[in-house]
Structure 1
Amino acid sequence: MHVTLYRKYRPKDFEEIAGEQEIVQTLKNSLKSNRLAHAYLFTGPRGVGKTSIARLMAKGVNCLTNGVTDTPCNICENCKEISAGNFLDLIEIDAASNRGIDEIRQLKEKINYSPTKGRKKVYIIDEVHMLTKEAFNALLKTLEEPPEHVLFILATTEPDKILPTIISRCQRYDFKSVNYRDMREKLMYIIDNEGYKIDEPSLVAIYEASGGSMRDSISILERLMINTENKDIVIEKTEDVLGITPIKIIDQFIEIIEKKNQSEGVELLEEIWKNSIDIEIFFKDLAKRAKDRIVKIDLKTEIGLEIIDTVYDILSKFRYEEDKRLVGYVILNRLTEKVEKEVIVEKIIERVQNPQETLEIETSIDYSESENISKISYEEVKKSWNTIIEEAKKVKMTFGAFLIKAYFKDFSNNTLVIGFANDQSFAKNMMETEPYRTLFLETVRKVLKSKIMIKYELQEVNKSKDRVEGEDFSKKIIDFFGGEII
């Protein structure tokens, strides 16, 4: 019968544990000196060795050849049965499916019975945070003063959900994600034993996909082995099997960002979409690649950090948008904007030095008819609203997207008040930032031929006024970009 790799290569002694050297050494010292606690709490991410070390502890206290030891023999009857998972005095409880008070009461009834074959009964309670509050309370007294022949090992990925009274009765060890060096060493051991070859980029990809989980990395490796015919695992096959965006495409996108070439960026995004690459995953891979290239000094730090910041900012703000291509366009636009940052900095310094001028931004518009400033009316501004939107779209394409749900709200005291629906806070915030704020103000003043001011407000739209009922936002976006629903 086929045995999965992570079970086949489960550590048989402490030396085979990947990472966690400090924890391993401390537990080995406890076994060597026979100074064991009555209860342990192992916390940390999934697949980093919590249960494997718990089983090694069971071997250490029940080895027939070496006694209580940090080097179990793995040849005696007890060691073999523990490795096979059928040792009578090793009781593993899944708290996710045995979380009630009745199960804990049954445990308490059986706990006083002496071990059948070993020196100690070892209870491993996995995902212990899943126990109910009543079950935790029933376990308290037993954990505090268990029989001499009992050893408790609790394991969890969510220690914050465990009662402090339980934690205080255990000796706690916090496990960390496995680092790349330790994971690579373990994977290479398995690869050599199985008669395969693998390139370094594939090992890096496995590590990234596993999230630092040793068990997950071995499972991913097994998938790659199954999909490899000639026993030679290369990055192209790894990217295909794992659904990872090819690095050459990511680097191509970074080059587009550096050149600030929006048309090439749109073409590449469409190509990515047609190749069924998940757009959201692509941009997360882009951020990771930017991080790696910053570390290698292969990408300017300011560009790399801008990519990472923009990707996670936009993905967070548009996490509920179903059409991720539109989100991709927003990220592309942000990263390829040709903004003269030095000019903006100079304007900020100038405004700080002249605070009396901060309420108005000077433009290059010629206001030869200064009397229009006082004569422009509410009705004139309202009638010009659609013209303002159209002119703004000519100045910058993204104004159409940001103002698609904006509406004329009021005009008084020489100030145009623009309203946004409650779900349009992102669009409002963008309109208030540079360079959008300055460019739109200049456009409005040009259309109205008046030096008015602008104020943005966030509130519900009055559906009976200034808004067409049943108008679909997604349709507006698609029409704006000239796309179609596929």
Structure 2
Amino acid sequence: MDNKFIVSARKYRPQNFNTVVGQSHITTTLKNAIRNNQLAHAFLFCGPRGVGKTTCARILAKTINCTSPTADGEACNTCNSCVSFDAGTSLNIHELDAASNNSVDDIRSLVEQVRFAPQAGKYKVYIVDEVHMLSASAFNAFLKTLEEPPSYAIFILATTEKHKILPTILSRCQIFDFKRITNNDTVTHLQEIVDKEEINAEKAALQVIAQKSEGCMRDSLSILDKIVSFTNGTVTYQNTLEHLNILDEDYYFKLLDCMQQQDMAGAMMLYDQINRKGFEGDLVLNGFAEFIRNLLVSKDAKSAALLEVVEGMQDKYVSTASKTGLSYLVSALNILNEAEINYKMARNKRLHVELTLIKLNFLQQAIDLAMDNGTVVKKKRVDGPVAFKTRAVTPIQYQQAAAKTPEAKLYIDQKPVAAPAAAKPAPPTPTHQAAAAMAPPPVRTAPRQAPASNGVKKSLLDVLREKAGDRYAVEEIKEAEVLSMEKLRACWDSYTELLEKQLKHSSAGTFRAARLEIENEIRFTVTVSALTSQKFVEQEKMMLMDHIHTNFNNRAIVFNVLVEAGEREDIPLHMRLNSKDKFEHIASQYPLVKELKDRLKLEIDY
């Protein structure tokens, strides 16, 4: 135990620009600036966490003070300046953590240090990490020094939240945006480290670590250290999934297979097995949504580059995606996204996930129902006004004449009724001949046929009619009635009797004394004599409106309640006072109540 353990993130921190991973656009710019002696006096390094901002700042500070830099602008790592910098004893670099030193006094002390020239080397470098944590006053105290520093002072500001920095600071700095490190670069770097440490690691395991780190190299190195300790030096795909609490993708393939076969029992048993392993429902929903997204990406060769899965799984995704319909994937992704959003509000988390799986299990049936000859049938949306449709009424004389004609067909309630086949035509009589002469010429109406499907898209209603047949009866919608005083009074009296049966005698008396007046076809006014009567009517307004709408078959009917002007009503005190007035009234009658409130320092919620 003599050798102290150093985590990989510190042990393998890059010492020159060439070893920085995934930020070649920044390291190349900095090396060219050093080589051409075109250094700015202030830099701002911004980007996600763990991508090399502070590392590049330290490498830049070491390189510009190196006494014998290389031809490509790198530090030699052998001179006294580089050695002292690597040992942490250099006096030319000062690091300030703005998260804990964010006051004006901290910035003033930093500004005072800037006045002193370096004792050795050419530049004094000041690295301010997490600079967005500085207060507004500290930023303002830093402005003048940042704009016109001494020739030997260089400031490097690092932050993860550039939008929180004042524009006056941004305009004084040369800004470098660091990007997330790609999974391929992360895997390559991890492979170099495990080779140096002589660790047995599968490439699939390193790919899972890279995906879990989400572009943060420091996180990936920390995860690698944990798994190496957990597995005693052997990193495999299975133990990596176990340690990171990641569900194996084979479970998602099995779930999708059960849903494609509409095997609800198999899907529920598979989820029970996943739940017994300790995986939470939101993790399953999120993982399944990501799995569906990968299948959607695999449907098209153009988007195949977006597929980031472990090595050897690409072919399986592509083959599964070719067997799965595009409409199913999009609908499933929508259902999973909605379920994941509502997961936190669900009381029974397991039931919430199981309901989502049931929806996905029967999703294919819903898609099949909305398909016609392989194309999706959508409901027609009518944005503009719809014209009022009328149907011509056949004259009575023509109906009588047509009834005697064996070839005619009468349409009753829009359904054709054919004449009996066995009936023989009766010989025409003079009366019939006269009626036929008076009637308009007969118009033969062909029976209604289903619309042809050759190249013409059917509406969803027509498709459902073809599949359902005559199993469902279509009822005619009743027309809405306008207000009439006779029917309104009958409806009002019937509701009054209903109040009497419910033993609401006060409300029933108010309804009997109320005066009704119709303003227009859908609005009427109820006039009562007192404010308390108005409250009785308002209490019954919801049930009364439903009663009126049902009788008139018109949901547009509304009414107002008015109080007629008359003698001032003696309203009870508890109905006139609000909460604050009630307390003051009680306190005036009982002073000890107010004294109790003041002594206990109570706050009353009015």
TM-score, structure 2 length as denominator? 0.58
Structure with greater Cα Rg: 2
- Aligned letter for 1:312? N
Instruction: Find the residue that maps to 1:227 and give its secondary structure.
Output: helix
Q: 1:73 to 1:271 in 2, by over 3 A?
A: same
Percent identity, aligned pairs only, is 33
Q: Verify the 8 A CA contact 2:282 2:343 in the aligned structure 1.
A: no
- Written as runs of structure 1 = structure 2, the 5 A alignment for 1:316-395 is 316-321=341-346, 323-336=348-361, 337=363, 338-339=365-366, 340-342=369-371, 346=377, 348-349=379-380, 365-366=472-473
- Written as runs of structure 1 = structure 2, the 5 A alignment for 1:20-35 is 20-35=23-38
Q: Residue 260 of structure 2 aligns with which residue?
A: 258
Residue 143 of structure 1, CA deviation: 0.8
Residue 108 of structure 1, CA deviation: 0.8
Q: Verify the 8 A CA contact 1:127 1:155 in the aligned structure 2.
A: yes
How many residue pairs get aligned? The number is 389
Q: Residue 20 of structure 2 aligns with which residue?
A: 17
Q: 1:409 to 1:6 in 2, by over 3 A?
A: farther
- Aligned letter for 1:75? T
- Written as runs of structure 1 = structure 2, the 5 A alignment for 1:289-300 is 289-293=291-295, 294=298, 295=304, 296=314, 297-298=318-319, 299=321, 300=324
Instruction: Find the residue that maps to 2:379 and give its secondary structure.
Output: helix
CA distance in structure 2 between the partners assigned to 1:256 and 1:303 by the alignment = 14
Q: Over aligned residue pairs, what C-alpha RMSD do you find?
A: 3.6
- Among candidates 227, 230, 236, match of residue 227 of structure 1: 230
Instruction: Find the residue that maps to 2:247 and give its secondary structure.
Output: coil
Q: Verify the 8 A CA contact 2:45 2:158 in the aligned structure 1.
A: yes
CA distance in structure 2 between the partners assigned to 1:352 and 1:252 by the alignment = 44
- Aligned letter for 1:7? R
Are residue 87 (structure 1) and residue 112 (structure 2) matched? no
Q: 1:333 to 1:71 in 2, by over 3 A?
A: same
- Aligned letter for 1:310? I
CA distance in structure 2 between the partners assigned to 1:77 and 1:317 by the alignment = 61
Q: Verify the 8 A CA contact 1:250 1:286 in the aligned structure 2.
A: yes
- Aligned letter for 2:370? K
Instruction: Find the residue that maps to 1:147 and give its secondary structure.
Output: coil
Q: 1:38 to 1:347 in 2, by over 3 A?
A: closer
Residue 228 of structure 1, CA deviation: 1.7
CA distance in structure 2 between the partners assigned to 1:349 and 1:413 by the alignment = 33
Are residue 283 (structure 1) and residue 281 (structure 2) matched? no
Instruction: Find the residue that maps to 1:334 and give its secondary structure.
Output: helix
CA distance in structure 1 between the partners assigned to 2:544 and 2:231 by the alignment = 63
Q: Residue 314 of structure 1 aligns with which residue?
A: 339
- Aligned letter for 2:371? E
Q: Residue 428 of structure 1 aligns with which residue?
A: none
- Written as runs of structure 1 = structure 2, the 5 A alignment for 1:173-184 is 173-184=176-187
CA distance in structure 1 between the partners assigned to 2:286 and 2:88 by the alignment = 40
- Aligned letter for 2:46? T
Q: 1:303 to 1:45 in 2, by over 3 A?
A: farther
- Written as runs of structure 1 = structure 2, the 5 A alignment for 1:98-247 is 98-229=101-232, 231-247=233-249
Instruction: Find the residue that maps to 1:87 and give its secondary structure.
Output: coil
- Aligned letter for 2:473? D
Higher RCO by CA contacts (8 Å cutoff, separation 6 or greater): 1
Residue 148 of structure 1, CA deviation: 1.0
Q: Verify the 8 A CA contact 1:314 1:330 in the aligned structure 2.
A: no
CA distance in structure 2 between the partners assigned to 1:236 and 1:70 by the alignment = 44
- Which whole-Å deviations, capped at 9, do the CAs of 1:208-254 have from their partners, x for residues lacking one? 1101101111111111111123x331110000010111121122222
CA distance in structure 2 between the partners assigned to 1:80 and 1:306 by the alignment = 61
Residue 371 of structure 1, CA deviation: 8.9
Residue 413 of structure 1, CA deviation: 8.0
Q: Which runs of 5+ in 2 are unaligned?
A: 299-303, 305-313, 390-458, 482-490, 496-541, 556-606
- Aligned letter for 1:334? K
CA distance in structure 1 between the partners assigned to 2:347 and 2:128 by the alignment = 41
Residue 182 of structure 1, CA deviation: 1.2
- Aligned letter for 1:140? L
- Aligned letter for 2:31? K
The farther-off stretch of 70-79 and 329-338 is 329-338
Q: 1:368 to 1:44 in 2, by over 3 A?
A: closer
- Which whole-Å deviations, capped at 9, do the CAs of 1:430-464 have from their partners, x for residues lacking one? xxxxxxxxxxxxxxxxxxxxx999xxxxxxxxxxx
CA distance in structure 2 between the partners assigned to 1:165 and 1:159 by the alignment = 12
Q: 1:234 to 1:12 in 2, by over 3 A?
A: same
Q: Verify the 8 A CA contact 2:44 2:174 in the aligned structure 1.
A: yes
- Which whole-Å deviations, capped at 9, do the CAs of 1:332-366 have from their partners, x for residues lacking one? 233223312327954614989996799x9999533
Q: Verify the 8 A CA contact 1:60 1:69 in the aligned structure 2.
A: no
Q: Verify the 8 A CA contact 2:132 2:161 in the aligned structure 1.
A: yes
- Which whole-Å deviations, capped at 9, do the CAs of 1:138-161 have from their partners, x for residues lacking one? 111111011111111111111010
Residue 367 of structure 1, CA deviation: 5.9
CA distance in structure 2 between the partners assigned to 1:83 and 1:187 by the alignment = 23
TM-score, structure 1 length as denominator? 0.71
Residue 13 of structure 1, CA deviation: 0.9
Q: Verify the 8 A CA contact 1:61 1:67 in the aligned structure 2.
A: no
Residue 261 of structure 1, CA deviation: 3.0
Q: 1:183 to 1:365 in 2, by over 3 A?
A: same
CA distance in structure 1 between the partners assigned to 2:271 and 2:544 by the alignment = 37
CA distance in structure 2 between the partners assigned to 1:246 and 1:137 by the alignment = 53
Residue 44 of structure 1, CA deviation: 0.6
